Amino acid sequence: MSAGAWLSGSALAVALTFAAAGALAAPAATGHASKATYEDAYRHAKTLAQQALRDDAAWTVTAPTLKQAEKAAAEGDYDHAEALADRAAALAELSMQQAKEQETAWKAAVLR
Amino acid sequence: MTRRIRMTHPLQRAVLRKAAPALACAALLPAIALAAAMATSHADDSLASSTPAEDLAAFQHYFKSTFPEVSPDDFVNGPYSMNKGMREQWEAIMQFPPYDFALAEGKKLFATPFANGKTYGDCFPNRGIGIRQNYPYFDTKRGEVVDLVLAVNLCREANGEKPLNVSKGAMASITAYMADTSRGKRFDIRIPDDPRALAAYEAGKEYFYSRRGQLNFSCSSCHVQSAGKRLRGDILAPAMGILASFPIYRSKWGSMGTIERRLVSCDSQVRAEPLPANDPMYRNVEYFLSYMGNGLPVAGPGARP
């Protein structure tokens, strides 16, 4: 097993650890969200989530985060809803970044 | 949101001369930028690709040299070959194998004629008895990997019957019976001289070694790099021979399940959105992993925690 296999996986693992840690904490609310800004954020996140699914790169945590955003918006908490939508977008982006990286990174893990 | 079943892998598409879709990435986040800065190298693109025979030799050498105390045939017993305490529990359980009911049901279903009077035996070589070790195979007419599960459904459809759920239930019972008639026979997975077969094998190999999901694990993360180690309360099975005992009765499921069922749950466990259970990519993974187990004995149906 080459060092490259560990390192390329480790680098993204660090990024994903940050993402996962952030996912456990409450999303940062700005206090400035409105229905319009939330809807923009939601549309953006939904587009990315659908792209990740089409590419077979999606994570199981992305769709539930979008659902949580919908729920918060339905309750009128646009601040929280927008923060959740932004998190869902970040998860979708990370999942596609992972898939892109793995197109080549996997080769270093092959037993030789 | 509809799911597209990916019929081809990028390597397969290249072989079939279809353009691969471009992946438009969104702006990178600071964490991703940090990861990019920290990464000393991605996989070296100059890494020479290896032949299936070379892969097989390296794969089996790795496990035999990492676990010299395990007799080669014992790898098919998964975690029980890795841990004495688990083995003792398993041997006690196997006084009354939990798959026995499914086995009896499978034998009955296998022999029950279809509405047109034919049976499963009419579809398979040697009437379907003692053939598990040859699956999966690359079907050059269909241009895809056919595993025993798909073969059973193709048989049903050819005889006017509806396909079975590929993950559990009657399918698991029928394939359990077929595996049992082959117990002890040596796996002999072939890769014919057909670029599509090699592409399918390579696609399965890539899937096996690719990290996925929010937990960023590949199949090899657990079953190569961490084989024999604990993951919470479980002992991780070695990848060598890992499919030999399927279909399995899994205590966690409280029922039987096929390879397809397990692959879906593995993807979910690392928080990767799984493919549909009957996706050709899962059969490609089975093709690669089964080839890596060539020479090992059929040990199915099996029982697992």
Question: Could you read off the pLDDT of A5-48 as tens digits, one per residue?
Answer: 443 454 455 555 545 544 445 566 667 889 999 999 999 999 99
Would the CB atoms of A58 and B272 count as touching at under 8 Å? yes
Would the CB atoms of B34 and A14 count as touching at under 8 Å? yes
Q: Is the entire prediction scored with pTM above 0.90? A: no
pLDDT for the residue numbered B155: 98
Residues of chain B with Cβ-Cβ distance to A18 below 8 Å are 31, 34
Residues forming a β-bridge with B231: B234
Tokens encoding B235 = 């002992």
pLDDT for the residue numbered B4: 43
The answer to whether residues B292 and B244 touch, using CB atoms and an 8 Å cutoff, is no
Would the CB atoms of B214 and A61 count as touching at under 8 Å? yes
Q: Is the peptide bond before B192 cis (omega within 30 degrees of 0)?
A: no
Q: Which of B23, B211, B272 sits opposite A55 (nearest CB)?
A: B23
Q: Which of B21, B205, B216 sits opposite A9 (nearest CB)?
A: B216
Question: Is residue B46 over pLDDT 80?
Answer: no
Q: Which of B44, B206, B271 sits opposite A60 (nearest CB)?
A: B271
Would the CB atoms of A4 and B42 count as touching at under 8 Å? yes
CA distance B60 to B57: 6
Tokens encoding B63 = 């496990």
pLDDT for the residue numbered B207: 98
Q: Does the beta carbon of B1 lie under 8 angstroms from any beta carbon of chain A?
A: yes
CA distance A83 to A27: 6
Residues of chain A with Cβ-Cβ distance to B41 below 8 Å are 4, 7-8
Work out how many CB contacts closer than 8 A connect A with B: 148
Which one is predicted more confidently, B18 or A68? A68
Question: Is residue B265 over pLDDT 50?
Answer: yes
Which one is predicted more confidently, B222 or B15? B222
Given pLDDT bands bounded at 50, 70 and 90, which one contains residue A56?
very high
Mean pLDDT is lowest, of B43-57, B109-123, B169-183, for B43-57
Question: Could you read off the pLDDT of B281-305 as tens digits, one per residue?
Answer: 999 999 999 999 999 999 999 999 9
Question: Is residue A97 over pLDDT 60?
Answer: yes
How far off is chain B from A18, nearest CA to CA, in Å? Answer: 7
CA distance B154 to B162: 10
Closest of B211, B200, B185 to residue B147, by C-alpha: B200
Closest of A11, A12, A18, A22 to residue A86, by C-alpha: A22
Which one is predicted more confidently, B59 or B16? B59
Interface of B with A in 68-107 (CB under 8 A): none
How far off is chain A from B137, nearest CA to CA, in Å? Answer: 23
pLDDT for the residue numbered A6: 42
Question: Could you read off the pLDDT of B186-212 as tens digits, one per residue?
Answer: 999 999 999 999 999 999 999 999 999
Question: Is residue B27 over pLDDT 50?
Answer: no
Q: Which helix (H) or strand (E) holds A47?
A: helix A35-54
Would the CB atoms of A51 and B24 count as touching at under 8 Å? yes
| Residue that is written with structure tokens 């796996």 in the block | B187
For B220, nearest residue in chain A (alpha carbons): A109
- The question of whether B266 is a catalytic residue gets the answer yes
Q: Does the beta carbon of B22 lie under 8 angstroms from any beta carbon of chain A?
A: no
